[in-house]
A and B are shown apart, each in its own frame.
Chain A
């Protein structure tokens, strides 16, 4: 009898998760902007991709370069793995983001200093590698050793913050599709990140977008690269499991 209940519980839970259909932020764009996003020549974020490409092939003082291990134009990179970040790192016993992995490579294999999280170089390299993985299906692990981190991210996503006491879920689940003054609320998906923002003419990383959202309801942001944002990235990326990578996407 108990087993039956357990089974029913598991089935009910699984279908609750499956009932959610991820929708890319690009679906909310005008056709014109979407075309611009997909056109490699018209996309205004291409200089950032090119900058990342040059860093990827650049030899450092110790004679190392990313392409030494990962191939010319990243042809030895496992692109489906880029779509799986954050991944669980056995050594550190925690999830690591693509930016964390870049620093692990720099310190352990290139005898180089770590970059500051979200610095220009990081965002350039991340944009370049995600651009290579365009079209790959997002598959982020949420079970096994990831469970506590995923749950922590989920909790943050539903926590009320700041003077306006809003949560991410308020805008991106409860009221998605509604107009917030001049803006349509989308699902807050991460598959286009880093994204190019037309309003600022800049490429924005995912952690900076988190900070902007928190700032908008007068909440103190966390730091780029903080445990909180890594857990939140894990939850948000996994929420988009099944979408394909569209980096660099264009947004208002």
Chain B
């Protein structure tokens, strides 16, 4: 039993090291546009780059297949679009359930919340991608501004439908 505890503690230590590598600054070449972020209390409280989000743009980005494509996996209150996905939970009412910082963390890197998740990290450090297509080399899926736009949009979803 004490042995297992030790193992557990040393694993935690290792995870902490890995996390600090993943999240820490030290931005290299490609990263001039990549802004490192910090997790506090299971959230990213600070807006990326201090940018302000626009919910109207955020709605468009969430629909756009080449941008957020959130509809691929989530149901959203977007009646004009058909084929909402069911891979993730519906996002109606998410603005009541989660704070801005919690929503930001889930969009930026859901793997911090659930390491097994299928949900892409929309603002992960691109240096850690494995076999990324040339066109997307060194790039995050969304820009910091686009992330903030979607955060602002999700915060407006304060009604649970049906």
Nearest Cβ on chain B to A241's Cβ, whole angstroms: 26
**Is B132 in contact with A219, judged by CB distance below 8 angstroms?**
yes
How long is the Cα–Cα vector from A126 to B5 in the complex, in angstroms? 55
- Please indicate the chain B residues that have their CB under 8 angstroms from the CB of A171 in the complex: 118
Q: Which of B98-134 contact A (CB under 8 A)?
A: 111, 116, 118, 120-121, 124, 126, 129-134
**Is A218 in contact with B118, judged by CB distance below 8 angstroms?**
no
Partner of B87, one of A161, A163, A178, A218: A178
- Please indicate the chain A residues that have their CB under 8 angstroms from the CB of B139 in the complex: 163
How long is the Cα–Cα vector from A162 to B121 in the complex, in angstroms? 11
Q: Mark A164-202, 1 if CB is under 8 A from B, else 0.
A: 111000110011001111100100000000000000000
Across the two chains, which residue of chain B brings its CB closest to A215?
Answer: B133
How long is the Cα–Cα vector from A44 to B120 in the complex, in angstroms? 37
Partner of B71, one of A161, A181, A215, A217: A181
- Please indicate the chain A residues that have their CB under 8 angstroms from the CB of B82 in the complex: 182
Total interface residues on B, CB under 8 Å, equals 28
Nearest Cβ on chain A to B128's Cβ, whole angstroms: 8
Q: Which of B70-96 contact A (CB under 8 A)?
A: 71-73, 82-87
**Is B130 in contact with A178, judged by CB distance below 8 angstroms?**
no
**Is B87 in contact with A219, judged by CB distance below 8 angstroms?**
no
How long is the Cα–Cα vector from A158 to B86 in the complex, in angstroms? 22
Q: A76 in the interface, Cβ–Cβ < 8 Å? A: no
Partner of A163, one of B65, B116, B136: B136
**Is B87 in contact with A180, judged by CB distance below 8 angstroms?**
yes
**Is A175 in contact with B118, judged by CB distance below 8 angstroms?**
yes
How long is the Cα–Cα vector from A250 to B69 in the complex, in angstroms? 27
- Please indicate the chain B residues that have their CB under 8 angstroms from the CB of A170 in the complex: 118
Q: B141 in the interface, Cβ–Cβ < 8 Å? A: yes
**Is B87 in contact with A220, judged by CB distance below 8 angstroms?**
no
Q: A58 in the interface, Cβ–Cβ < 8 Å? A: no
**Is B86 in contact with A165, judged by CB distance below 8 angstroms?**
no
**Is A179 in contact with B132, judged by CB distance below 8 angstroms?**
no
**Is A179 in contact with B130, judged by CB distance below 8 angstroms?**
no
**Is A219 in contact with B131, judged by CB distance below 8 angstroms?**
yes
4 more CB-based (< 8 A) A-B contacts, given A165-B111, A181-B69: A175-B118, A179-B83, A179-B87, A181-B71
B interface with A by C-beta (< 8 Å): 65, 69, 71-73, 82-87, 111, 116, 118, 120-121, 124, 126, 129-136, 139, 141
8 contacts between A and B (CB under 8 A): A163-B120, A166-B118, A178-B87, A180-B73, A181-B83, A218-B132, A220-B132, A220-B133
